[in-house]
A and B are shown apart, each in its own frame.
Chain A
Amino acid sequence: MGAVEEEEEQVRFKGNTLAARIWVLIGNGQFVEAEALIAEGTAAGLLSKPQATRMLEKISQLNTRLGDIPASVQRAPDFPSQLKDYTLFEIDQMLQRQDFSIAAKAQLMMAKKLIKEFPRLLAK
């Protein structure tokens, strides 16, 4: 019994470290590497299915273009349509670098918020 518990503890510890590494990759936009580790980690039993799903969902959210959100959400006054072809990750990068050559800071912030707002509005 004790040995089993210890082993589970070990797995959880390794799993958490792996999860932290994957989240860093996701945050850096290294999606291919992250997806490879998610697949490996799941196969090796180091990541749970729900954990892997949450990670893949966030990768897909970061790859969402402003123009992908439904028309109803795009009706917002001052909708920054020049950002339609940019993904959430790219918009975030512009904010991080303080690169306001394509859109003003407020427009970038609004675009980011709108991409995140749409899935929140869907019925759970």
Chain B
Amino acid sequence: MQKSDESSTFIQTVLSALREKLREEAKEFVIREAAMKILKYVKLLKKDFKIISGGGLYIEDKVKDMTIPVYITFRYPEWIEIKTLLASGTELPPDLANECRVYEFLLRLANDFAELSFTVDSESNLYARQNILVGALSFDVFKEEYDAVVLSAVIFKKEILPRLKKCAKEYEEIRDAYETQIV
């Protein structure tokens, strides 16, 4: 390798490392700003919160006689996630959800009411969830998305859970009767 090539390669390597460092620092700066904003917003909304390991906030929101556990976390690098668990995969396995047409009903609700959004993870845990792009974070957006998650949970607990319990009971009764017949 010639001397000029060597120096050019060396300079490019140094600059590339510097760019990477700056990129990481910029990301850190943006995330820090967003975290500070979120903290300010939950205080403005007078919510009691706990800081959770892994970087996030946990709020137990009270709506009448209901307690809604809300998690506010980062989905790096650019998303903020507000979510609440509605039913675990063991409480509501996919076969029961399908039998009782829960997912279909939730998709209908999402269509009929603004900002209701339900989702299922790979382990069939059911959540109400909203995302905010870090760059689009403002108080009004945060409040709107936070309220939507809480409202989704209230609707699920008040309207869907009782129907689901009834359907699950019927489903189990039918299944038990069917099993007995086979034996």
Partners in one complex: no
Chain A contacts to B: CB under 8 angstroms:
none
A-binding residues in B (CB < 8 A) = none
